[in-house]
Amino acid sequence: MHRLHPARVLVTGGAGFLGSHLCARLLEGGADVLCADNFSTGTRDNVLPLLDHRGFELVRHDICQPLHVEVDEIYNLACPASPVHYQVDPLQTFKTCVHGAQNMLGLARRLKAKVLQASTSEVYGDPDFHPQKESYWGNVNPTGPRSCYDEGKRCAETLCFDYRRMHGIRIKVARIFNTFGPRMNPADGRVVSNFIVQALTGQPLTIYGEGHQTRSFCYVDDLLEGCVRLMATPDEVTGPINLGNPHELQVRELATTILRLTGSRSPLVFKPLPVDDPRRRRPDITLANETLGWRPTASLEAGLVKTIEYFDRLLGTPGYKIPAGVNGHAKQHVA
């Protein structure tokens, strides 16, 4: 259907890594974008280039509180996404997942707007089945240190489906797998940013366990293409739908690739595995491929090169300091 005027889109968490790329992309597509963020892990710097765009508005807002705005579509991305960040205040993380989702679904109900909920591969926990299909209900520890996020996101999915059943809300649930790219927070301990920053600053690359655990990494542009396509699907398409890159590799291999691409001579150091760290993680993207005609197109190396360039520039900015107590001191890196 052709729109008479561009959609007005709310992006919660729009000043974060994924959100800032999404805001830029939606603006390019002609939408008016309202970015709501409490800046807990995101920064104004991430959206600085967008502030002059006439279709862009930025508001400081915590989604645990109701938000009264007029929009047609809501991308609910607000939530700290790495263990280092979401474990700082697990109660706030859980509230953001649950009260935040409820507030956004309530807003969608009032406005008859569509909601895309950013869910996560963490809803599968430490999976018994590999690769993970949407039909798998998961193996999540409900009481561990990662539960505030994993169970919070599961609860947000439940809310989406109950709002749909009770109030007919148009929902789209995206189960996002590890995504990387420019504007990742250098301080949040995620494995790609950790390794790149360590390699560029000559610190040892920290590997947890022996590094044989596998992960699959999706480049940010690919992931957002999937999200935007999902939002544009007919109302009967609700998800949950996996979005991620099925190319699987060992964490150790990722480290050696980053050493090669940065030309770094940093050594590898091995530390004990964190609690509940999943051993394997790879999406089955058959459903996304059939429903959205989507699959990732960027190679890992091409994405890493762009990400390395970004961090190289960031670290070379005069006066720039990596936020204290994180990179190189991160308690663990993310799944």
Ligand X SMILES: NC(=O)c1ccc[n+]([C@@H]2O[C@H](COP(=O)([O-])OP(=O)(O)OC[C@H]3O[C@@H](n4cnc5c(N)ncnc54)[C@H](O)[C@@H]3O)[C@@H](O)[C@H]2O)c1
Which residues sit at the interface with ligand X, rule CB under 6 A?
12-13, 15-19, 37-42, 62-64, 77-81, 96, 100, 118, 120, 176, 178-179, 185
- Cis geometry, peptide bond prior to residue 131 (ω within 30 degrees of 0): yes
Which of residues 13 and 211 has its CB atom nearest to ligand X in the complex?
A: 13
Pairing relation of β-strands 241-243 and 170-176? Answer: parallel
Task: State in angstroms the smallest separation of the CB of 302 from ligand X.
Answer: 18
Task: State in angstroms the smallest separation of the CB of 265 from ligand X.
Answer: 28
What is the residue-wise DSSP string for 101-163?
HHHHHHHHHHHT-EEEEEEEGGGGBS-SSSSBPTT---B--SSSTTHHHHHHHHHHHHHHHHH
Which of residues 40 and 307 has its CB atom nearest to ligand X in the complex?
A: 40
Task: State in angstroms the smallest separation of the CB of 87 from ligand X.
Answer: 13
Task: State in angstroms the smallest separation of the CB of 143 from ligand X.
Answer: 20
Which of residues 170 and 281 has its CB atom nearest to ligand X in the complex?
A: 281
The amino acid at 161 = F
Task: State in angstroms the smallest separation of the CB of 167 from ligand X.
Answer: 22
**Cα separation of 172 and 243, whole Å?**
12
Non-local CB neighbours of 201 within 8 Å, separated by 6+ positions: 315, 328
Which of residues 8 and 154 has its CB atom nearest to ligand X in the complex?
A: 154
Cβ-contact 149, 122 below 8 angstroms: yes
Residue among 86, 124, 149, 219 flagged as catalytic: 149
3-state secondary structure of 263: coil
> For residue 256, with 0-12 CB atoms within 10 Å meaning exposed, 13-18 middle and 19 or more buried, which class applies?
middle
Which of residues 36 and 292 has its CB atom nearest to ligand X in the complex?
A: 36
N-terminal to C-terminal alpha carbon distance within the chain: 39
149: annotated active-site residue: yes
CA atoms within 13 A on the CB side of 211: 15
Q: Which residues are catalytic?
A: 149
